[in-house]
Chain A
Amino acid sequence: MPKTLKVAFPEKCVGCEMCVMEAQRQLTKIGLEGALIRVFRNTNTKMGYIEYSLEIDPRISNLDVEKIQKICPKGVFEIEEIE
């Protein structure tokens, strides 16, 4: 069964973008253009308190999502099976 990546614990994200780079490398790309994962800093939080949010393109399921999950140092992602 095909698998996809789900942002399970966004509050754990430290904004390192390791997941973005891993997904891009799997597409043999270096850079942010066409990235299937995007990391945003939430700008409406109070000063000194930083939060990040993530967006995942559904095409991520074409990649090795386990590798992406594994490279995240803080355990932000979970793997889900697609029905």
Chain B
Amino acid sequence: MKQGKPRKILSIDLNTSEYEVKSFEDLDNYIGGVGLGFKLMEMYYEKNPLILAVGPLNGLFPFASKTSIVLNNDGVIEDIYIGGSLSLRIRYGGLDAIVITGTAETKTVLDILNSSVSFRTQNEDPDTLGLPGKRSVTKIEENKVLLGGYFTTPEHYLEKEFAEKNISGFVVTGTELINITDFDKYEELYKKILNRKDELSVIEGTYPSCSNCPIGCGKSKTGEMGGNVLLHSLVACQYADKIYTDVGVVFSCLNVLGYNYTHEDIEFLPKLIEQTLRRIS
């Protein structure tokens, strides 16, 4: 069996106000994002988890700025995506995913710094927690979950989860650095992808932009829902599909980051996800 990179998962239990970090050696084939999210949903299904998952390209390549959110909406497993700065903070926190289970006794704000969690009361304004410039703040504002005061998700699934879990916000701060063996090759590939920004199927604007994306489009505010599983496992923007559904590009990115995937692994991903979803359903 192929030896992959372990996936680091921060698991938070709101029932007991406890948390733990687990390293899984056998999740490599799910790549990240929605693939990893669905697999974690299967693993934690009985605990009705809310899962935030990033992919291997988040924080490292342009236009790969979304965070995958997987949740159980009355028996239907939904995957929605939020923009902003969250995916970079999770990645720079050294994490691949955050799994939140249980229900807090009183309204709670989760203050996450890398792999550690502080359980705060709702009296503490999330905007005052974490480290400025290195944090991402998500909180309820006027009945909507807003990230950075702007970015939202489609439908009302996340708002429902916040209510069910009795949380009013979470702050993620990431202070770790990522090591890359061949930095020159990485940078060359980064610039090559950045130079393809005209291939994005969205109009450049002056709206708040997702981190590591220069476009400032008006579309990222509302997030994404469903769609291409490779794109959402990475977790890249849906408007960058011309770039990140190109298996050659994806393979190059993963390779330079030290992931030992083959083209076949990437091609098999949709089937693997389908099988996982079938088991949960």
Contacts and interface: CB of A to CB of B under 8 A. Distances in A.
Contact of B133 (A25, A28, A40, A47): A40
B153 interface: no
Which size bracket describes the interface of A in this complex?
20 to 34
B132 A40 contact: yes
B220 to A, nearest CB: 10
A50 B84 CA distance: 12
Contact of A41 (B134, B148, B214): B148
Interface residues of B, number: 37
A38 B133 CA distance: 5
A45 B150 CA distance: 12
B207 A32 contact: no
B164 interface: no
Interface stretch (B71-79, B116-124, B169-177, B265-273): B169-177
A73 B92 contact: no
A17 B142 CA distance: 27
Interface of A is mostly: loop
B141 interface: yes
A37 to B, nearest CB: 9
B216 A14 contact: yes
A30 B60 contact: yes
B101 interface: no
A32 B133 contact: yes
B180 interface: yes
B209 A14 contact: yes
B38 to A, nearest CB: 27
Nearest to B134: A32
Contacts of B132: 38, 40
B188 to A, nearest CB: 11
Contacts of A34: 177
Interface in B77-120: 85, 88, 92
A16 interface: yes
Nearest to A44: B127
A19 B60 CA distance: 14
A50 B206 contact: no
Given A15-B211, A30-B60, A30-B178, 14 more contacts: A14-B206, A15-B209, A18-B212, A18-B213, A25-B187, A25-B190, A30-B59, A30-B179, A31-B177, A32-B92, A32-B133, A47-B141, A55-B133, A71-B214
Interface of B: 59-60, 62, 85, 88, 92, 127, 132-134, 141-142, 148-150, 174-180, 183, 187, 190, 204, 206-216
